[in-house]
Structure 1
Amino acid sequence: MPKQGSIPSFFLSGRHRQHSLIFTERLLQSMVREKSPLLVFFETHIHLVYSSMVLGADRNDNSLLLDPLNPEEGNAHLVPGHSLFLHGRSSGIETGFRARIRGISEISSGRAILLEFPYETYHCQRRETLRVPLPIDLPPIRISTRSGHQELARLADLGAMGMRLLVGARDENGLPQRAFREDQIVLLPGIDLGTLSLPAMTAKVVHLEQAGFESGLPVLSLGLRFLDLSEEISESLATYVMKKDVERLLMARDEHLA
């Protein structure tokens, strides 16, 4: 059922306003890949909030496709020319968009809501949630549990407060991996990232899920939160993550202009 609600206050500040259409398209395409839920706010006399999902975005075609509103009665409130505010997450970061309604469109999988490409974008890069992917050629690290179990893990992505690792989903006997569980404490070795070296530290497993296959073998994704970083290392890590995120954005822009 729809619920009463209002647009989160931090989107009402110009501080988080973005002005790059390339950046907006990148955020929307990330939400398509992640299949992240979306809240839809009508900016008229209607004060109900509906849930949806981004199906596609193309700034060159001036289009944004959403799942039909749930429940279906929400579609009756769609008035061409009126604006919607969309609130979701891209890579775990709070993201908001304003876009004008064009109508209902037919696509291969059924009906979809057709909007113009967003004319306003808000992206709240909270330091504790921003993550950047790590180069795939970084050597694996060996992590340990307090019981003494050790496992090789590949570095996947990094944030100011934690990181994500990939480990084999099966143990050396071919049985399902049971060495890790949520809320477990693990020991990390020192990690050399080139321009930043992280010391050995402890971390808590906060997320654990299947993450597809690598080289034909199933892997698990371990989401970790750092527990004992010094203030100096925390500041250096936050700076590293923000710098790498800017580099990614500039690279995406240059690829588009090439």
Structure 2
Amino acid sequence: MREVANKLFKDEFRLTTHQKAEHVLGKIARTRDALAVIPSEHAEEFTSLLLHIDRKNEELIIDELNPAHGSRRVAEGQPFFCLGRSDGVYVGFQSHLIQAVDWEGYGALRIAYPETTYYLQRRSYYRVLVNAGDAGQVELQRRGARPVQGQCHDLSGSGMRILLTSPTDFALTQGEYIPLVRFDLDGVELASEAQVRFVGAIRSNKVRQPVRPVGIQFLNMTPAFEQRIMNYVQHRDRQLLREGRT
């Protein structure tokens, strides 16, 4: 979660009105999704729940931290970060402890209402299964080797997993630089540089053209390429949520 926090707390992801922030925090409270609590002076992370929002009195109520010694960490008066999710998108804010309280018969923490709330609109951390027909054949052009082709299995804002036919000359290797990966997405041709992040085992040797999963990370994406990918990921993610498959 620290990796998410390092990306989330930037001005570009700042919610600009109190109404938007309260709406997002309210969703987290209603769905009772886990809330990660990260004391800024400690490496350990803890979990909690957002139980109650009181905008008028500028405070929130969160459940006691798990593991239990986390409540002592935040009681030391240091600021801490909270990370949750609203509709699958990361939400974060900074706060500090006001006091430990009882809430509906259980231990809880009264914390300061955040001055600023951040909302990671770009879903680069989410990977979605690509719908059949949405993505055309993927081609990887290589240095000193023949191009290889495959089908996109899933896609995120930072890369994709491909079911790839095995090269006939030189095997793909983890860390290999790909000068060009090219594919169609919703009828639009896209191209970028990439790097091989992992090479999986062959799925089956019993078929005529066995495939293996290969993960790539996009490099030096153009703004148009990145926006096209993110639009698809967000649209597909909402579609899968409606279908109840995520």
In the superposition, the TM-score normalised over structure 2's length comes to 0.50
